[in-house]
Amino acid sequence: MEEIYCQGCGVAIQTLDPNKMGFTPASSLKNEDVLCKRCFRLKHYNEIQDVSISDDQFFDMVASIQNKAGLVVHLIDIFDVNGSFIQSLPRIVGNNPIILVGNKVDLLPKSTNLQKLNQWLRSVAKEAGLKLLDVFLISSIKGHGMEELTEAIEQYRAEQNVYVVGTTNVGKSTFINQMIKQSVGVQDAITTSYFPGTTLGFIKIPLDHDTYMIDTPGIVNRRQFAHFVSPRDLKMINPKKEIKPRVYQLNEKQTLFFGGLARIDFLKGDKDSFICYFSNELPIHRTKLEKADELYANHVGEMLSPPDKDTIAQLPDLEKQTFKLKSGKTDVVFSGLGWVSVSGDNMTVNVYSPKGIPVTIRKALI
Ligand code: GDP
């Protein structure tokens, strides 16, 4: 039988084992657009199915790019740079040229200096030992920056294939859908969803008669909130609209809770503005430090939510870390959730996040 690929996620279609990747009932093969059962359910019922594929398998699939010449487009989520940056990219793509694309700029406040952000991304890449041809900032949902990027890709690819790589949830499917719309006018050819790991196989979009844009499987980042919270909570955490920074004037010995998922204690320092960049729908709660532990114990899953009551058990315990900040505006980043910007002048904070989800410090982004 000729190999058929799912029009949703690009996985090879099979009709034998309903529990394995790419299954579709034989009767569906006659359809013009064949979808695997997983994409079919997602498309028609908005329902995700777990399929088993190991991280190693993922890695092998993506690493096959190494031996093929082409331009690599590394898509990252600007709201979660740390979590979406693929540290092992040089190893995965070999000597192929890379351009870095920061997606979801529509989420950042309008006042954000995009040029500064672009420079900052270049320095992050440099630190990671990644040699880049160029850096772009786009919104694949709103279309910002897409035209410029498309033109650059056309130029940089020098008539070779284009490989789009990224971790899950960066908006890779949305991005490719946009590219398809621009080139051939077909909408929603690929599954997009709130769930990481949606893009399972390679999908090829013709660029001209013999070269393609190739969507690679999303590399799973296990250190994501998405793996610990319910679908409903994930919708609340993933910002959909421009983030409205929420500002709290805090004195020392005060605490902020971000739902029940993370927390920052202002231990020591002069009164300061804590500017919070999180999904507008994530509730932030201020309290006195001395009451914080008790509040959490009694109200996580209710007042301090997400997580909702049913998924608390799934969430690893919060782990504490102490940061002593010296000088200069600093972001305390809760990977994948958001960040808090502080003056950073001689202050000490304790931060809490679920075990395994990193909290990092960076020079203020905005
Ligand atoms: P994939 O796993 O990388 O293929 O990611 P998807 O394309 O499925 O997108 C993951 C989530 O990010 C979905 O909820 C998308 O709606 C959202 N998303 C994708 N691109 C953008 C963007 O440019 N802006 C915003 N605000 N959200 C985006």
Hey, which of 9, 169, 179 would you mutate to test ligand 1's pocket, going by the most ligand atoms within 8 Å of its Cβ?
169
Hey, which of 86, 104, 170, 192 would you mutate to test ligand 1's pocket, going by the most ligand atoms within 8 Å of its Cβ?
192
Structure-block tokens of residue 92: 């995965």
CA atoms within 13 A on the CB side of 215: 32
Which of 51, 1, 42 shows the shortest CA–CA distance to 23?
Answer: 51
Neighbours of 74 (CB within 10 A): 25
Q: What is the pTM of this model?
A: 0.86
Ligand 1 atom 8, closest CA: 192
Greatest alpha-carbon span in the chain: 71
Which of 79, 2, 63, 8 shows the shortest CA–CA distance to 39?
Answer: 8
Report pLDDT for 18.
86
Just give the CATH number of 53-221: 3.40.50.300
Task: Determine the Cα–Cα distance for residues 242 and 339; give it in Å rounded to an integer.
Answer: 15
Task: Determine the Cα–Cα distance for residues 347 and 270; give it in Å rounded to an integer.
Answer: 7
Report pLDDT for 363.
86
Ligand 1 centroid vs 53 CA: distance in angstroms? 22
Report pLDDT for 58.
73
Report pLDDT for 215.
82
Residues with CB under 6 A from ligand 1: 103-104, 106-107, 139-141, 166, 168-174, 192-194, 196, 198-199, 218, 238, 240
Hey, which of 86, 174, 177 would you mutate to test ligand 1's pocket, going by the most ligand atoms within 8 Å of its Cβ?
174
Strands 272-278 and 246-250: antiparallel
Amino acid at 267: L
Report pLDDT for 196.
60
Strands 359-363 and 347-354: unpaired
For residues 107, 108, 113, 114, the Cα torsion angle rounded to the nearest 10 degrees is -30
Report pLDDT for 52.
62
Portions of the chain given CATH number 3.40.50.300: 53-221
Report pLDDT for 57.
73
Report pLDDT for 27.
92
pLDDT tens by residue, the chain, 366 residues? 578 888 877 788 999 998 788 899 999 998 877 888 888 877 777 666 666 667 777 777 778 888 888 999 999 999 999 889 988 888 888 889 999 999 999 999 998 899 999 999 999 899 888 889 999 999 999 999 999 999 999 999 999 999 999 988 898 888 988 887 776 555 555 556 555 656 666 777 778 778 888 888 777 777 778 778 888 898 899 999 999 999 999 999 999 999 999 999 999 999 999 999 999 999 999 999 999 999 999 999 999 999 999 889 989 999 999 999 998 999 999 988 999 999 988 999 999 999 988 899 988 888
Neighbours of 353 (CB within 10 A): 25
Ligand 1 atom 24, closest CA: 104
Report pLDDT for 199.
63
Cα torsion 136, 137, 143, 148: sign? negative
Structure-block tokens of residue 268: 């020591």
Cα torsion 181, 183, 186, 192: sign? negative
Task: Determine the Cα–Cα distance for residues 78 and 75; give it in Å rounded to an integer.
Answer: 9
